[in-house]
Amino acid sequence: MQIRGIMIATVILGGLAVGGVARAQTISYADAVTTLAKDCGADIKKLCKGINLGNGRIADCLTKNASKVSPTCTSSLDSVSAAIRQRNDAQAAYTKACQHDIAQHCRGIKGDGYTLACLIKTERIVSGKCNQAIIDAGWR
Amino acid sequence: MMRKHDVKKAALWTALVAAAISTSSAIAVAQQVTEQRIASSLGKLTTAAPIIDVALLREEAANGAGKGMTGLPNWGKVAQLPQMVVEIDFQNDSVGIEPESYRTLGLIADALHHPNLWDYKFLVVGHSSATGSDKHNLDLSEKRADAIREILSTTFAVDPARLFAVGVGEYFPIDASKASTADNRRVQLFNLGVFR
């Protein structure tokens, strides 16, 4: 009974993990900060003169001046930070998600760029997990 | 002592340089910058890039005024590489980047995160126009190059070990006959070759 319980839990958790990967909708860094510039540009110019994105300083400045920042910018700030994190996580997940497919279909290919090109070319026989990782990473 | 820049919009240029065929020095001024364009420009590396010592480059720039990039032993090596130019706007006499240029920074980050460029390290070179004292311009250009390096390595999580920054002030104008022109306020990004 106990073993079966563990097995069921594994199947459910495994399913969740796959579902989680498939659902991850990520956007490029460029699109993320374009949204920030659009929604927060005026507030940044007014309240954060001379301050840059690096080390979270724009985010800190906008948070510190929360009472003067537009509501659109406040909500955008959170979603942009999340979007950047998601894209970064998705790219970090690629190597592991595609490890098996690389060994299987792209063995002996040198260079990360050529390896990715091979995976994209063999899309039809590459695992769903790897294909999804490539999409989430923004490389297709 | 320190004269301020009198041009409102500091137009900085980011030239993306791939260490490649040393015969052609193709400078493409970007009408429209895309990640693909950055990636393909930087991906042209076919030969080993020269070994670069950032401290040496800094010194060489400050002491070699008037000679131009190509006339100096170390800068000459990188100056021959193909480049792509994009524009980044800074606030007047400040390291603050205008929000309008965030997208360009993001595009560079997207390109540096692509597997095609994983293997490479990059040098961010800050330039200024000749408006203001040369010492002030040298400092400002260095801070601006540092700011870009910091943004790429923190906001956009590019491994800081892949990124180097140096300011060269007004010493390498794009157009020496118009040293005060805004075109000379720019940042170049050089591909320094294989990382590690």
CA distance A49 to A72: 20
For residue B22, pLDDT beyond 50: no
* Secondary structure (3-state) at A81: helix
Q: Report whether B102 contacts A54 (CB < 8 A).
A: no
Quote the percentage of chain B above a pLDDT of 70.
70
CA distances from A42 to A8, A38, A105, B62, B104 (A): 53, 8, 50, 38, 18
Q: Where are the domains of chain B?
A: 10-194
The percent of chain B in helix, strand and coil, each rounded to the nearest 5, is 40, 20, 40
pTM: 0.80
| AA letter at B95 | V
**Residue B111 in contact with partner chain A when CB distance is under 8 A:** no
Using the beta-carbon criterion (under 8 Å), do A40 and B99 form an inter-chain contact? yes
Rounded mean pLDDT of B1-27? 32
Q: Name the A residues in 85-124 with CB < 8 Å from any B CB.
A: 88, 91, 111-113, 115-116
Residue A79 tokens, joined: 């979603």
Q: Which residues from A are below 8 Å from B105, CB to CB? A: 33, 53
pLDDT digits (tens, 9 = 90+) for A17-72: 444 444 457 999 999 999 999 999 999 999 999 999 999 999 999 999 999 999 99
pLDDT digits (tens, 9 = 90+) for B76-94: 887 766 566 667 888 888 9
pLDDT digits (tens, 9 = 90+) for A69-115: 999 999 999 999 999 999 999 999 999 999 999 999 999 999 999 99
B10-194 in CATH: which number? 3.30.1330.60
pLDDT of residue B44: 61
Q: Where are the domains of chain A?
A: 26-137
Q: For helices B134-153 and B102-113, give the axis angle rounded to 10 degrees.
A: 60
Q: What is the ipTM of this complex?
A: 0.82
Q: Which alpha helices (H) appear in B118-170, and where do they start and end?
A: 134-153
For residue A6, pLDDT beyond 50: no
CA distance A118 to B3: 55
* Secondary structure (3-state) at A94: helix
